[in-house]
Every structure is written in C-alpha cells, then in structure tokens.
Amino acid sequence: MERVNLIIHNADYVKLLTELNALEKDRKFCKHTLEHFLDTARIMYITSLENNLNISKDIIYGCALLHDIGRVSEYKNGTPHNEASVEIATDILKKCNYSDREIETITTVILSHRKPQNGNTLGELLYKADKQSRLCFCCNAEKECYWDKSKKNYDIIL
C-alpha cells in the first residue's frame, strides 16, 4: 500500500482534492470526496476478493482514488471528468512508482468508468462500486437527482 499512500500524499492530488471540496461545498447531491473515493476502493476490493479475481490492491485503490479527480476540470472548463481524470492520473501514477502497464490499465478503467462493463472486470468493479458507494436510499436530494433510477443505490447489496 506504499504506492497508495504516495497518491494520497501527492501534492497535486491533495491540491486537486482540496479544490474539488471547495467547488462542491454547496452541492446538495453526492460529493466527490476522499470518503467517496475510499468507499469505492473498499467496495471494489471486497468484491474482487469475494469473486477470487486476484486484482492488486494498489491497482484497485489507484483506480478508485483517481476516477473522479478530474471533476475540477469539468467544473472549471467543461472537460468530461473521466477524460480529465485520465490526464491527471497518468501524471500522479508516474510519480507514485506505477509501471507504464499499470498506468495504462488504471487509466483505461477510469476513462470508461461512466458506462457499465461486462463480466468481472476491473472496469465493472469500478462502475458498480462507484454506484454502490452512494447512499441514495437515505438521501434528502434523491428525488431531485439527475441520475437515472437504474443507477441509483436503493439497497445495501451483499
């Protein structure tokens, strides 16, 4: 988990996360906080263990911690957050000792995380965990939320 800790202590990551928190300060819908990123990572990891997928914890956490970090660019200039997240992740992952192959794996998953994937792939883990980490079942803004009902998390899935 040394590389995961390098991510969360990376100066660029900390700056972007701080900026994202400020940009979403008054957001009534789900926020893109470190808690969301960690919840997503933990759900991904548990699911991978339950399905014997043998995916490295460093890869799972790399995907989850960086999948929405591009929201800052989306808010500032309209760049889709998955695309902006790929650019940001590439730079941060290089600084955190991920190999070129690992970076390609992580950024491919981040780029496609907004669409459902097929099977027990890393992309499917991220897509589902991203949704399962949300507490739609007890959210005061759920009725106003723009998410399609099929994406909303109304139950705890075991």
Lookup: tokens for 117? 């994937």
Tokens 């939320």 belong to residue: 145
Higher pLDDT, 113 or 72: 72
What is the spatial distance between Cα 112 and Cα 124, in angstroms, rounded to a whole number?
9
Cβ within 8 Å of residue 118, ≥6 positions away: 124
The average pLDDT across 37-55 equals 95
Tell whether pTM > 0.85.
yes
Residue 39 has pLDDT above 70, yes or no: yes
